[in-house]
A and B are shown apart, each in its own frame.
Chain A
Amino acid sequence: MNEEARDLAYSIPWRTSGVRMGSHRSYMTGSGGLTRDIVPLTMFPDPRRIAIRASLSDPFERLLVRRAEQPSAIDIAVLVDVSASMAFEGRCDKISLAADLAHALAICTERAGDTFALYPFDRELRQDILLRKTLSRGAHVEAIERLRNFAPDQPGTAGIVEAGAAIAGSKKLVFLISDFLWPEEAARAAAEALAFHDVIPIELRDSLELDGLPDWGLLNLRDLETGRHRLVAMRPKLKARWRAQRTVQRQHVALALETASRETFTVSDNIDWMRLASFLLHGAA
């Protein structure tokens, strides 16, 4: 965990209705710094906040009071794809990248007073390593360590629907961490399941996947997702075709996801924390 990761921050472009004090803008009125609106004293009987100028200029001669916003806490859910394809270790270890991201986000939530939840899923929601929303720092660390030590063993991504049910309720900030080597339908199902929330897809990409293929030769590849073997007579032309097909697949998945999410943030081999922070704060990297 490097130091830059600790400085990660996020912001939300929407107001929460959370009642708990926190650091995000909300619909609640309370004792925050920002003026929200001006209402009659009868409505908000706090004479400390009488707005003199507004009261004097009120044509109905009422006593008006300033109301301030209350910054509220939100719930953060980190959904990690731990399906078999995430086990591929080329130039990076996707599971450990995901754990790093989750750890950085957990630290963020601790700083901002938000809750943190971790939902790893493959073809089902992984009950054995998930963490329901909590403020407990110890629980965060423990869950992240469990994730880091986890060896993916099941294919599929259908568990995201269960995860969607688990985080149903008020609007949450959801990080969806995966390699997104999904069929388009899976991406669409994920988008539907998470549509109510503010979803930030983070794609983990291992450049060795395509760069590491030899120009010529026979490869016996085992698809980690399906377990099927395929003997491939690799040649430059086929390599180029694979590259193109993978690009098209990524485009399709991104298109399906982004109907209900923010733009996908791509992590290639290693995480550029500054870029990620910038992306999370300003919506663009």
Chain B
Amino acid sequence: MIFTNPIALLLLPLALLPLLLGTQRQEAYPSLAGFEPDGLSVAIAWALRIAGMAAILGLILGIAGIAVRERSVERFGQGAHIVLLIDRSASMNDTFAGRQPSGEEESKSSAAKRLIKDFIVEREHDRFGVAAFSTAPMHVVPITDRKDIVLEAIDAIDRPGLAFTDVGRGLGMGLSMIQEDVLQGSRAIILVSDGVAVIGRRVQEALRAEFARRPVNLYFLYLRTEGANSMFATPPPGAEDTPQALPERHLNKFFQSLRIPYRAYEAESAEAIKAAIADIGKLEQTPLVYTERIPQYDLSRWAYVVAALSLGLLLVAKLCERTIKRAGVIHAA
């Protein structure tokens, strides 16, 4: 319970006034000693006293700005802490056909955006972080349960991006975000990309060490442009099989060699992305302790409502007020 204007609480003793003073006009009466108090009158008298106190109390608490303090409650649910690592390279703004989107066509990034947003909204208890990468990784949103921030961040990812795709440093960023997150729960990185570059040997070693230290579920959602190489396809014999020639295939192989739970999805269309995300959703269902933040709640409006109702009751009582009829009084001398 907090007050935005606590000095008004100094007025609280005023709430005792109705115990001492009545709202009804007093009328002198010779003697009430012979009359038994009747239940209804006593009840009404107390109801009016209490209404008076409630009215004053409500107004004072309203002025004082009573509110319930922000709290966090620990809850149990199913889900995971997920870092969305999203490719921001320029090619993401193309369609799956590898063209600039026109008319009703949807770019890869906007399709991914739409589907990931659905995913985020659907997953009640998950916490999400967002990182983007192109030439350099960008820390967008740390792992948080504030869905609205995450959704805003996802909204922003289809802004036109830069040229290159540096997966290695992007993954490093994702891992460091997971490092910063201290809460318990299963952790996952969803890497969304449409084509990758080679990860340098030294970066590979660093990543290997990082992944070994902290087990993370890794999902690689590869948005394959029409005509691009598949990451699962084995090149025909005789063709060049180097990371430079087939970077996706070698990245996949690198991930498989990390000895962490890993899954790769190759999507050529929005439907395929959807299926992949649904699959990830099914996999990330470990029990999870999460804290729910209940924001500060302003009670002053309810205080005013109570005061208004009490004042209404007092007004009704005031309107019911009668006096001893003195019509036709003759003072006999």
Contacts and interface: CB of A to CB of B under 8 A. Distances in A.
B30 A179 contact: yes
B40 interface: yes
A216 interface: yes
Interface string A15-47: 000000000000000000000000000000000
Interface residues of A, number: 53
Contacts of B24: 218-220, 231
A285 interface: no
B45 A230 contact: yes
B41 A214 contact: no
Given A97-B332, A224-B30, A232 B41 contact: yes
A85 B318 CA distance: 26
Contacts of A228: 32
A221 B320 contact: no
B201 interface: no
A181 to B, nearest CB: 4
Nearest to B36: A245
Contact of A90 (B45, B326, B333): B326
Interface string B35-55: 111101100110010000000
B27 A249 contact: no
A128 to B, nearest CB: 23
Contacts of B326: 90, 208, 212
A169 interface: no
A217 B48 contact: no
A96 B28 contact: no
Interface in A190-227: 206, 208-209, 211-214, 216-226
A218 B29 contact: no
Contacts of B29: 88, 209, 221-224
B102 interface: no
Interface residues of B, number: 34
B33 A226 contact: yes
A231 B48 contact: yes
A141 interface: no
Given A92-B331, A231-B48, A232-B41, A217 B31 contact: no
A222 B41 contact: no
A222 B27 contact: yes
Given A220-B24, A225-B30, A231 B320 contact: no
A95 to B, nearest CB: 12
A223 B31 contact: yes
Given A91-B330, A229-B22, A233-B40, A219 B30 contact: no
Interface in B304-333: 317, 320-326, 329-333
B179 interface: no
Interface string B56-86: 0000000000000000000000000000000
Given A93-B331, A270-B332, A231 B41 contact: yes
A230 B331 CA distance: 27
Given A93-B331, A181-B34, A249-B34, A233 B44 contact: yes
Contact of A208 (B26, B321, B329, B332): B329
A218 B320 contact: yes
Given A88-B28, A214-B325, A231-B22, A181 B331 contact: no
Interface stretch (A65-73, A234-242, A258-266): A234-242
B324 A225 contact: no
B25 interface: yes
Given A90-B324, A91-B330, A217-B322, A225 B36 contact: no
Contact of A246 (B28, B34, B38, B45): B34
B321 A217 contact: yes
Nearest to A217: B322
Contacts of A90: 324, 326, 329
Nearest to A271: B332
A23 to B, nearest CB: 29
A145 interface: no
A181 B30 contact: yes
Interface string A88-109: 1111110011001000000000
Contacts of B35: 242, 245-246
A124 interface: no
A91 B329 contact: yes
A235 B321 CA distance: 13
Contacts of A249: 33-34
Nearest to A183: B33
Contacts of B22: 220, 229, 231
A269 interface: yes
A257 B324 CA distance: 30
B6 to A, nearest CB: 35
Nearest to A84: B30
A220 B32 contact: no
B328 to A, nearest CB: 8
Given A218-B320, A246-B34, A224 B41 contact: no
- Shortest 6 CB-CB contacts between residues of A and residues of B: A217-B322, A270-B332, A220-B24, A249-B34, A231-B45, A181-B31
Given A235-B40, A241-B36, 15 more contacts: A90-B324, A92-B332, A93-B331, A181-B34, A209-B30, A212-B324, A212-B326, A214-B322, A223-B29, A223-B32, A224-B29, A228-B32, A233-B38, A234-B322, A238-B41
Interface of A: 1-2, 85-93, 96-97, 100, 179, 181, 183, 206, 208-209, 211-214, 216-226, 228-235, 238, 241-242, 245-246, 248-249, 269-271
14 contacts: A85-B31, A181-B30, A181-B33, A209-B30, A222-B28, A222-B29, A223-B30, A223-B31, A225-B31, A233-B44, A245-B34, A270-B330, A270-B332, A271-B332
